[in-house]
Amino acid sequence: MSKITPTLLNDTLNLVALARETALARGRQAQADRLAPVVDGLRSLAAASTNSLTPRPPVTASGALAGEDFRALLAAAQAAPLNGAPSASPLHSLTRGHVAAAMAAGGMTEIEIARQLGVAREEVRIMIRLSQPHSLTPGPEAVA
């Protein structure tokens, strides 16, 4: 059996602890009592796994991370303001448009992009459409 990653172990701990808390909230004391030793065991395993971590060598970019689209996305993300608040400046909108276009070129759906950027799906569509080269033929929505 392969070693469980600390992240997966912590996620499992959180999930089982949440199940125990839910059982308590719903008045299922017997179920909560059965989950208590599991939570305690996972908690000790998670603590031991974080203490035994050894630093790993840096990973070189390969696959999708080595692609030109990813580099463009990374550059746009690094150029974005750090405060997280949307800015009204045209440069900020241009950067967000580049990020949305890079995400779309990388195969992400409009919904995934909207969630990542914290914007509406229609705004993502507009950003992607604006990043594409203009054509003389109307899109499918113009025909309707």
Distance in angstroms (rounded) separating the CA atoms of residues 103 and 128: 9
Distance in angstroms (rounded) separating the CA atoms of residues 130 and 36: 54
User: pLDDT tens digits, residue range 6-48?
Assistant: 888 888 888 888 888 988 989 999 999 999 999 899 888 888 8
What residue numbers bound the domain in which 47 lies?
Answer: 6-51
Distance in angstroms (rounded) separating the CA atoms of residues 144 and 142: 6
Is the model's pTM score more than 0.75?
A: no
Do 99 and 43 share a domain, yes or no?
no
Tell me whether residue 141 is in a domain.
no
Do 18 and 78 share a domain, yes or no?
no
User: pLDDT tens digits, residue range 52-77?
Assistant: 655 555 555 556 566 777 777 777 77
- Encoding tokens for residue 6? 């600390």
Tell me whether residue 1 is in a domain.
no
